[in-house]
Amino acid sequence: MERSPAARNLRFAVIGAGMSGILSAIKLREAGYDDFTVYEKADRLGGTWRENTYPGISCDVPSHLYSYSFEPNPDWSQRFSPGAEIQAYFEGVARRRGVMSRIRFGDEVTRLEFANGRWTLETKSGHRDEVDVVIAATGVLHHPKLPDLAGQDDFEGALFHSARWDHSVKLDGARVGVVGTGSSAVQIVGAIVDRVAKLSLFQRTAQWIMPQENPRYSEAERAEFRKHPELVTKLHEDMAVLFSAFSNGLVDANSPQMKAIEDACLANLEQNVRDPVLREKLRPSYKAACKRLVMSDCFYRAVQQPQAEVVTEGIERVEAKGVRTRDGRLHELDVLVLATGFRVDRFLRPIRVVGRDGIELEQVWEKRPSAYLSISIPGFPNLFMLNGPNGPVGNFSLIEVAELQLGYVLQLVSRLRAGCREICPSEEATVQLELDRTEAAKHTIWGSGCRSWYLDDRGVPMSWPWTFDRFRAEMSAPKLEAWEQKG
């Protein structure tokens, strides 16, 4: 991209080398910004797909949609590909696009402070950097949420969170307990049931299960995709349209799309769970898609195996030999997996972020995190988040979300390049948008009466509450009246 002679040279820090950080590095370069470092605390890129290696992990968005729009992949093995393949995809993209050498691995950003139009960044190792712009690509499902189970330390077997899978632990012939019924738990149960001696699924809330076929792409199909990349691009586009229709329906709890999903889930339960007692245990008491919709073609088969049990009695405590439920029963176990999800209110935290005039992010977000359009916070100029608070986090591709957000951010950055020194959203625009968002969120499917990780401390869904088409339109160009520019 050509620069005008007056253009400022800008230095950037990208925090995180997951899907969003890799995307940022690629797009910064494409836009002509070459002065940047990607900071990654781990020794490998990939974020979610590096950390979640549990048996059965896969995408639940079709792989041809869960790909960068500019990096179609003809080689996806299945409609919903396994996690290791997704990790390899991100590593391949980063290598091909020259991102690897731009990543500073193994160094966690611990502090950001804004003064005189620039951010000073500090890392755990004591390294310092001064940059004009920070892109925080620190993830949303990144900090494991651990349940507060009494007696956990007494357990004599192996106990770990699903995002910290201990591959040294033997599963074959073992007695395994899984706590939780979200997407990870459902994938784990389906993948391990045939290997274990006993599987106890500790269920607090039943889940609607959307049937999901996962056919493999044949070698002939993949060869065709390789020969005609336009077919892969077309698949991506067609799936994006399909998912838009789905996500447009999510924002109206009574939409025909939600009814169709509930009908499909209900038929799945009625037709595929034979035992009426088990069927009732597995029947949710809220609308389908109120919690993040779980997709599976093997979960119901798995829980009907003789070695499997769905335990609905609450957990009293963990003991040396297993889990004791409130009815006094001891479920003897060798392995206990906590598939209990993530803390979804963290975002950049625990980085200590000090904005203009010494304002601390921890204070601003004391009650709950929020940001103008999920991207930026008043008082914290030139700091942009990807997949930040209250963004579109339903069952669709977060890659598409991040691509749209980054396109928006780059338009703001072009104003910095043109000479403006500080840009951040106005307090007024942010407060108004948050009021409108909160009101609209109550009418979405996530606000239709269930307990889920979508809800904040007030019970308001922490999500983009309007259609995905509206999100796309909003991301196409910043409304500059909402942005304060200085210098």
Contacting residues toward ligand FAD, per CB under 6 A: 15-21, 39-42, 47-48, 52, 57, 59-61, 66, 108-109, 137-139, 141-142, 184, 351, 386-387, 397-398
Q: How far is the CB of 61 from ligand FAD (least distance, A)?
A: 4
Segment holding 300, helix H or strand E: helix 299-303
Residue 310, CA distances (Å) to 92, 268, 317, 332, 481 in order = 40, 17, 17, 14, 54
Q: Which is nearer to ligand FAD, 52 or 200 (CB)?
A: 52
Q: Which is nearer to ligand FAD, 242 or 431 (CB)?
A: 242
Q: Among residues 348, 353, 314, 321, which one has the least CA distance to residue 335?
A: 321
Q: Which is nearer to ligand FAD, 172 or 213 (CB)?
A: 213
Q: Which is nearer to ligand FAD, 247 or 325 (CB)?
A: 247
Q: What are phi and psi of 217, to 5 degrees?
A: -80, 130
Q: Tell me the C-alpha distance between 286 and 183, whole Å.
A: 17
Q: Which is nearer to ligand FAD, 139 or 284 (CB)?
A: 139
Q: Tell me the C-alpha distance between 235 and 249, whole Å.
A: 21
Q: With DSSP H G I counted as helix, E B as strand and the rest as coil, what are the percentages for the chain, rounded to 5?
A: 35, 20, 45
Q: How far is the CB of 261 from ligand FAD (least distance, A)?
A: 16
Q: How far is the CB of 66 from ligand FAD (least distance, A)?
A: 5
Q: How far is the CB of 283 from ligand FAD (least distance, A)?
A: 25
Q: Which is nearer to ligand FAD, 18 or 72 (CB)?
A: 18
Q: How far is the CB of 121 from ligand FAD (least distance, A)?
A: 10
Q: How far is the CB of 41 from ligand FAD (least distance, A)?
A: 4
Three-state secondary-structure class, residue 416: helix
Q: How far is the CB of 31 from ligand FAD (least distance, A)?
A: 19
| Residue burial 253-278, b: 16+ Cβ < 10 Å; e: rest | bebebbeebbeebeebbeebbeeeeb
Q: Tell me the C-alpha distance between 443 and 460, whole Å.
A: 10
Q: Which is nearer to ligand FAD, 142 or 175 (CB)?
A: 142
Asked if omega into 350 is within 30° of 0 (cis), the reply is yes
Q: Which residues contact 32 (CB under 8 A, 6 or more apart)?
A: 1, 2, 3
